[in-house]
Amino acid sequence: MLTEYGLEITIYIILIGAIFGYAVLDGFDLGVGMLHLGTKNDTHRRIFLNAIGPVWDGNEVWLIVVVGLLFAAFPHVFATALSGFYIPVMVLLLALTLRAVSIEFRSKREMPAWRWFWDILFFTGSLLISFGMGLFFGNLIQGMPLTEARYFDPAKFGVIMPFITPYTVLVGVFTISTFLMHGCIYLLAKTEGDLHDKLRDWARGTIIFFCMMYVLSTMATLIYFPHMVESIRAKPYLFFVAVVNMLLIANIPRCIYKGKDGWAFISSAGNILCLVALYALGTFPVIIRSTIDPATRSLTVFNSNSSFLTLKYLFIISCISIPLVIFYGIVVYRIFQGKVKINSMSY
């Protein structure tokens, strides 16, 4: 039977797993959205939409899982995060709404102005969500000014938007580059003909952009936030995760060159898994780091969790619901596998 200590860690691992699920699945949706305006051909744009059409709403279920776990398992973190990131959260919700509406409404009429309007909203929503995710995690690495009671009080610290700093903006752009590459590789696997050839050229550009941002973000993290590598210093075998990450990144252009688009996508997903793992290893057990007194004011897995009974029931619910979400995803992706074909039922 799991002890309270074991439950806290187990629920945290499930939370990190759900974050990975959202990043790797909705990540390519967001990448497709940001690539949407790259082509002026209406048929190509419809192919982009139909490549994610059957799966995008199911992918966003993982975001609900993340928020639900955070709310139920770590309510103090949930309260502090929403008070500190109130403006970004509201922008994120607006972007999620606009993106969903644009996908459904875009092809309801054939008017070019109508479609152009929703295309812009689709692109903008995808860009804001991607940047917002990076901004959020950049702040979790950087930390926030927390009071003795471990909550954020902008009036006390005299800051209105502490989440906007050069480092968090850098992580936001890095997240954009990651999803752009991930989405482009997904489209390679779902398209054929002239559009597929065009996307191969785009893929090279997105890979170069990602590698540049990867190097910049890594250097900035190592220089300004050395606490992110303390666990790897203490346990050198964890450096294996970084090595695997580099090998997966190197394998992406190799697979694309050989025409193995599916394996390139798997490598891209593995890259995201390694990035999420490196983040978790670098921050654990801290969830929200205090910039004033990290040792006593930070919110951790062990001082911000719910009661043992709540965690117990949450673990049981997770063991039932998450496999169902995974099974649903497998079935949907199995049904809609293969190249995209436009017909009368398409978006």
Q: Which residues pair with 300 in a beta bridge?
A: 286
Q: Which residues of 325-336 are buried (b: 16+ CB within 10 A; e: fewer)?
A: beeebeeeeeee
pLDDT tens digits along 20-40: 999 999 999 999 999 999 988
Strands 299-300 and 286-288: antiparallel
The pLDDT of residue 163 is 75
Residue the block writes with tokens 């954020």: 152
Instruction: Give the confidence band of 110 by pLDDT, cuts at 50, 70, 90.
Output: confident
- What's the whole-number mean pLDDT along residues 123-141? 94
pLDDT tens digits along 180-189: 999 999 999 9
Question: Can you read off the two tokens belonging to residue 203?
Answer: 């893929």
pTM, entire model = 0.94
Crossing angle of helices 112-142 and 261-283, rounded to 10°: 40
Instruction: Give the confidence band of 162 by pLDDT, cuts at 50, 70, 90.
Output: low
Is residue 60 within 8 A of residue 92, CB to CB? The reply is: no
CA angle 18, 15, 178 (to 5 degrees): 50
